[in-house]
Amino acid sequence: MLKKEHIIIPVLILLLGIQLIPFAMTAWMGESIVLKVELYDPRDIFRGDYIALRFEEESVPVENVSLDLEQLEKIYDKKVYAIIKKQDESWTVVDIQLERPTQGMFIESRLDYLEYASGTDHSPSKKPILIHLDFGIDRFYVEENTGGSFEDAARDGNLLSELKVWKGDVVMMELMIED
């Protein structure tokens, strides 16, 4: 009985591993990119203080994208792939694809919603202007009560985030204040 109980340790480690390996792999193997950050700021009872944020690049102008409008409206809330490229020193989403790319840098995302010329109301006469993506990373945990300086930087548009991208997965590594 006692001997058999040893099996519990590998089981627990395996369960923990399932929880973290994909992210650890991305953090380890991924390529670094830097994106501009916008934010707001709450708290989580189980995981401490965090900064809730989104990336400027999660909002993509419709004209940048090769998908046509009808296709866009069908894939609401579905998985899409944001193709990213470095242009003039900053990383930008240059296209959105439905099929998983076989090469190049891309982020697996969800199509959150479409923004129409006036608000998000949908009517046939209106055409979407922005595609809002969700990269699946929307918080950065910080030491308690230290979110302030980041908030100030974000308000001035000087907050950047270093991310690792690996086979479409993203992990946020650091928040940086631009000088």
Sites of contact with another protein (CB under 8 A): 1-2, 4-9, 11-13, 15-16, 18-20, 23-24, 27-28, 46-48, 50, 77, 137-141, 143, 171-172
For the CB of residue 101, give the shortest distance to another protein in the complex, in Å: 23
CB of 165 to another protein, least distance (A): 13
Pull the structure tokens for residue 92: 């930008």
Q: Which is nearer to another protein, 110 or 126 (CB)?
A: 110
Map tokens 């840098």 to a residue: 105
| Closer of 50 and 113 to another protein (Cβ) | 50
Residue type for position 41: D
CB of 107 to another protein, least distance (A): 15
Q: Which is nearer to another protein, 36 or 139 (CB)?
A: 139
Report the nearest approach of another protein to the CB of residue 121 (Å): 21
> In this complex, which beta carbon is closest to another protein, that of residue 82 or of residue 170?
170
| Distance separating alpha carbons of residues 46 and 23, to the nearest angstrom | 19
Cα dist. 64→36, 72, 83, 131 in Å?
A: 18, 13, 11, 10
Q: What is the DSSP string of 26-77?
A: HHHHPEEEEEEEEEE--EETTTEEEEEEEEGGGEEEGGG--S-HHHHHHTTT
